[in-house]
């Protein structure tokens, strides 16, 4: 869909919703649905039924689907802009197409803004290193020179603390925040892949602390409202405060281990690096969830992401068992054991998926086994990334060819 087609279709949808609002009975009260009032235009938008809400959501989804806008803008931002567009149209519907064109141009103009996002992190002890770059993030002891703005006093509490930093391109602060948190999560999960199962915490987002994310618009040279903690306290089911004691030690030894693994090559976008990032997401979920059945599903998802092509949807158990065995096993006996282990893991997974069975505590070893294989396969994939120039299809083909060696 080109620009003209997009604008014409959006004009039809906005006009349709505008007519719905005009058909509403005056002074109709319906507090189950949202209302919006504009002081600037002296207009009021009242949603009165599901039809209107669905029409509005359809407009938002239509805009987000155009030209990958969903990768650049948050749903919140687009929703807010559509509301403002409707206010303008209600004030002067003869200029509606002009307003739509203006919205489009604003989106294009702001689509490539740069953001610099920092957060203090708990449970990381930086030892004798200046910084470590992991995919799209840098972890370091924050220095005053790292802060991108002139008024640095309000963030003095960050100086000298372990922080994580990333640069993001996005059209609004909420989307920038979302991308940054996803990057932070992938970064942490990569560390967890190589160390113990610790859980680093981003201050002001996950656990205790009153510090917030620093969200800086590099394009416009100004700061945005910081994100308040979603939880004042993190407690367990009994109401007891949870204290996360385990910490990863970022040392020269760990940095050498990461470099030997090939982490430095994951910053380049390739099919393998994309698969690795997906796998790290599911691996992190597998570590974090408490239900054993959910852990099993997440760990087997890692195996499927790493050991099958996107167009392979049949005989998954056989494919994953074979490829895992040939990837990790160096001799016949080892390969047979790995094949049998993965087959058993998939048998238990099938019970969860198709029968709704729950993994009992006594069967936890099966989940741990799945997690171990997920970890080993993912580390092997990272190791092979540079040698194969990021070619995921070649990675799979080389494993399959071992059957005929």
> Among 249, 274, 295, where does a domain finish?
249
Q: In this model, does residue 80 exceed pLDDT 80?
A: yes
Within this chain, do residues 301 and 337 fall inside the same structural domain, yes or no? Answer: yes
Of 109-123, 281-295, 347-361, which gets the smallest average pLDDT? Answer: 347-361
Within this chain, do residues 169 and 284 fall inside the same structural domain, yes or no? Answer: no
Share of the chain above pLDDT 70, in %: 86
Residues in the chain: 405
Predicted pLDDT at 102:
94
Within this chain, do residues 39 and 77 fall inside the same structural domain, yes or no? Answer: yes
Q: Give the pLDDT band (50/70/90) at residue 14.
A: very high
pLDDT digits (tens, 9 = 90+) for 101-141: 999 999 999 888 888 888 888 788 888 888 899 999 999 99
Q: In this model, does residue 146 exceed pLDDT 50?
A: yes
CB 230 within 8 A of CB 201: no
Q: Write out the DSSP string of 214-229.
A: EEEETTTTEE-PPPPP
Predicted pLDDT at 137:
93
Predicted pLDDT at 251:
84
Within this chain, do residues 139 and 237 fall inside the same structural domain, yes or no? Answer: yes
Predicted pLDDT at 243:
44
Task: Give the number of domains in the chain.
Answer: 3
Q: Does the global pTM surpass 0.95?
A: no
Rounded Cα distance, 303 and 10, in Å: 42
Within this chain, do residues 212 and 175 fall inside the same structural domain, yes or no? Answer: yes
Within this chain, do residues 80 and 60 fall inside the same structural domain, yes or no? Answer: yes
Share of the chain above pLDDT 90, in %: 47
Mean pLDDT (the chain) is: 84
Instruction: Quote the domain boundaries for residue 19.
Output: 3-111
Burial class for 68, CB neighbours closer than 10 Å (0-12, 13-18, 19+): exposed
Within this chain, do residues 186 and 145 fall inside the same structural domain, yes or no? Answer: yes
Within this chain, do residues 218 and 299 fall inside the same structural domain, yes or no? Answer: no
Rounded Cα distance, 130 and 120, in Å: 16
What mean pLDDT is predicted for residues 310-331? 89
Within this chain, do residues 45 and 144 fall inside the same structural domain, yes or no? Answer: no
3-state secondary structure 17-39: HHHHHHHCCCCCCCCCCCEEEEC
Within this chain, do residues 272 and 364 fall inside the same structural domain, yes or no? Answer: yes
Within this chain, do residues 393 and 270 fall inside the same structural domain, yes or no? Answer: yes
Q: In this model, does residue 241 exceed pLDDT 80?
A: no
Burial class for 256, CB neighbours closer than 10 Å (0-12, 13-18, 19+): exposed
Within this chain, do residues 196 and 303 fall inside the same structural domain, yes or no? Answer: no
Rg (CA), the chain: 25
> Among 249, 271, 306, where does a domain finish?
249
Q: Give the pLDDT band (50/70/90) at residue 25.
A: low
> Among 84, 111, 138, where does a domain finish?
111
pLDDT digits (tens, 9 = 90+) for 174-229: 898 889 999 999 999 999 998 865 667 676 433 333 346 677 788 877 776 644 43
């Amino acid at each position: 869909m080109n620009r003209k087609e997009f604008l014409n279709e959006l004009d039809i949808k906005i006009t349709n919703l505008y007519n719905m609002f005009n058909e509403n009975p005056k002074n109709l009260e319906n507090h189950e649905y949202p209302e919006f009032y504009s002081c600037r235009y002296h207009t009021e938008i009242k949603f009165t039924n599901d039809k209107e809400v669905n029409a509005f959501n359809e407009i938002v989804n239509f805009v987000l689907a155009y030209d990958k806008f969903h990768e650049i803008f948050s749903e919140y931002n687009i929703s807010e802009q559509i509301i403002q567009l409707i206010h303008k149209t209600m004030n002067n519907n003869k200029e509606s197409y002009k307003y739509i064109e203006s919205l489009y141009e604003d989106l294009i103009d702001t689509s490539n803004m740069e953001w610099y996002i920092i957060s203090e992190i708990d449970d990381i002890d930086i030892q004798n290193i200046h910084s470590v770059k992991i995919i799209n993030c840098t972890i370091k002891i924050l220095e005053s020179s790292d802060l991108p703005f002139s008024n640095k006093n309000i963030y003095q509490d960050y100086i000298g603390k372990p922080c994580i930093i990333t640069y993001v391109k996005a059209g609004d602060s909420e989307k920038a925040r979302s991308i940054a948190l996803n990057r932070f999560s992938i970064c942490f999960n990569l560390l967890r892949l190589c160390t113990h199962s610790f859980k680093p915490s981003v201050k002001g987002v996950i656990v205790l602390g009153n510090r917030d994310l620093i969200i800086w618009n590099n394009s416009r040279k100004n700061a945005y409202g910081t994100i308040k903690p979603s939880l004042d306290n993190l407690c367990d089911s009994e109401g007891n405060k949870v204290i996360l004691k385990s910490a990863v030690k970022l040392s020269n030894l760990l940095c050498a281990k990461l470099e030997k693994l090939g982490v430095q090559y994951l910053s380049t976008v390739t099919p393998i690096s994309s698969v690795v990032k997906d796998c790290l997401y599911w691996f992190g979920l597998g570590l974090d969830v408490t239900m054993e059945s959910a852990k099993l599903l997440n760990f087997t998802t890692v195996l499927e992401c790493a050991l099958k092509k996107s167009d392979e949807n049949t005989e998954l158990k056989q494919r994953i068992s074979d490829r895992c065995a040939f990837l990790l096993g160096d001799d016949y006996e080892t390969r047979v054991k790995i094949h049998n282990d993965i087959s058993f893991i998939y048998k238990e997974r099938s019970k969860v998926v198709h029968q709704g069975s729950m993994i009992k505590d006594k069967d936890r070893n099966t989940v741990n086994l799945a997690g171990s294989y997920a970890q080993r396969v993912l580390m092997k994939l990272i190791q092979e990334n540079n040698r194969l120039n990021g070619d995921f299809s070649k990675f799979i083909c080389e494993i399959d060819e071992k059957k005929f060696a």
